[in-house]
Chains A and B, each alone.
Chain A
Amino acid sequence: MRFDLTLIQPWINANSRVLDLGCGDGMLLETLSKEKNVSGVGLEIDPDNITRALARGVNVIEHDLNVGLGNFRDDSFDMVVMTLALQTLRYPHLVIDEMLRVGRECIVTFPNFGHWRSRWYLGHRGKMPVSKFLPYTWYDTPNIHFCTVKDFEALCDEKNIRILNSSVIGADNSQSPLANRFPNLLGVTAVYHISK
């Protein structure tokens, strides 16, 4: 399982109700259902992912996150999770508002554009970074709103969002102490647990 998905599991209570935005093939919800008796539903737009999620017994609703979460009532979930999808949204800040309206708590993970490799790539080559992790060129990338750890925390500050927990995953795909000491420089993926 992707390391950010492993990392966030302790933040999700047993028997809780989880909405997973951009649930992919449903791996996280399947694991949470088996190990924590979580009842959840995923939102997904990719047809193949939807079929895979359905086939593994995960409930999934075909939904474009760019239309917002107007279909869902206030506080209808204990936890709203969005992993590695923030940067693909047209209005990420509005979706975060919506997540905090629909869920009591939220978990957001995103690729940290402040990582030294991105800085080096841009600074040294003068071109938009392309990596194994983010293999797209600037014109065809689904990732249209990159941000850094600092940017995200500034947004939380601006919106009075409480950061209950945060962590970064380093280049070795682990939660290295060094990366967590310099998250904006050494964190590849940032992981935030937030609430209103």
Chain B
Amino acid sequence: MTQAPPSTNTADQNSVGIVAPQKLHFDQPLQLACGRALPAHDIVYETYGELNADKSNGILICHALSGHHHAAGKHSEDDRKTGWWDSCIGPGKPIDTKVFFVLSINNIGGCHGSTGPTSTNPDTGKPWGPDFPPLRCRDWVESQHLMMQHFGISQWAAVIGGSLGGMQAMRWALEYPDALRHCIVIASAMKLSAQNIAFNEIARRAITSDPNFHEGRYLEHGTLPKQGLALARMVGHITYLSEDGMKQKFGRELKTGNLSLGSGSDTAVEFEVESYLRYQGEAFSGSFDANTYLLMTKALDYYDLAREYNDDPVEAFKHAKCAFMVASFTTDWRFAPARSREIVDALVAANKSVSYTEIEADHGHDAFLIPIPRYMDVFHAYMKRLKQELGHAF
């Protein structure tokens, strides 16, 4: 168990408290969709809550593009930030750790401890870098399935994810139909739009055209393409927010300088939004691996739920056996409500159990991380049926 004793900090009764990441080593080769195999791999993960006796209360959290295993709680008392989905995971929260055993892993190809481009390639003794095998979403599902076997879980109560995480959750429903009872897909899509791929390509070009990129072998050169990665993140960040959200958050407020005529100020003018984006870009480029970013955005671009089902999502979803909950956010233009509705329509046509809500929110795509009251209400309401299936009376 990774979970430390409950936090002594009583400020947040709904927090999982202090958590510690764990690492698992898998010795057997992991066959990948590209045809290559990872000879061995490590998975870094966290768990919250207790697995029950019949191992029926497991929930798998699938992370999005820049996510990782640290989804809830803090690593230490002085940790400034909580895990990326702390709004939804914890005692009394929608993913209630008093009831469920939650597993959150860092996907392979990631850069937070699981085997990825910064790990050592056993064949060369050098970092994998650009030679790391290209990954598809289903490769993550396969490695998550190995984790499931490790914990002796035969069926998840739910697989849950937002954005790219939602894509993994849907892939689970098709690849392992008997292995989950519920699939919760938030702010996601069955495939990216051309506009989405275009933004990803700008992000990739920003990285690959950084002089420090060195064809992806920057670690061997002792450099980091920080500038490119920061730019990539800045572009990405704009697409995660909505116009209204940015207007409310930054407006045209100035961080420095003075725009009034004849002010005589020689301080450079900087808008709040510029400062914010620069900060986000710099923070990200110091903590994320550029090759991982390339790999993850490619996996996003290549994802097409129904490709192998004659491009027919209804045909695809006929293979699923679980119940679905789909949610979208009104101002999310990166994964627009219309994309979620396509999922819902295909599920209805495939005669599957599905619920759908379109949450009014001005936070854009980022809304899925934010505890918007109505979002929390419907999430709680849906999770109630999972609790009832486990025999919890309410």
- Chain A residues in contact with chain B, CB under 8 A? 17, 39, 41, 47, 50-52, 54-55, 57, 59-63, 71-73, 76
Contact = CB atoms under 8 A, between A and B. Distances in A.
Contacts of B354: 41, 59, 61
B120 interface: no
Contacts of B381: 51-52, 54-55
A60 B355 contact: yes
A59 B352 CA distance: 10
Interface residues of B, number: 22
Contacts of A62: 356-358
Chain A to chain B: the 7 pairs with minimum beta-carbon distance, closest first: A54-B381, A55-B381, A61-B356, A71-B345, A59-B355, A57-B385, A62-B357
Interface string B368-381: 00000010011011
B4 interface: no
Secondary structure type dominating chain B contacts = helix
Contacts of A52: 381
Contacts of B378: 50-51, 54
B145 interface: no
A54 B382 contact: yes
Nearest to B337: A62
Interface in B342-394: 344-345, 348-349, 351, 353-358, 374, 377-378, 380-382, 384-385, 388
Given A41-B354, A54-B378, A61-B356, A72 B345 contact: yes
Given A59-B355, A62-B356, A72-B349, 14 more contacts: A39-B351, A50-B378, A51-B377, A52-B381, A54-B378, A55-B380, A57-B384, A61-B344, A61-B348, A61-B356, A62-B357, A71-B344, A71-B348, A76-B351
A76 B385 contact: no
Contacts of A39: 351, 353
A105 to B, nearest CB: 18
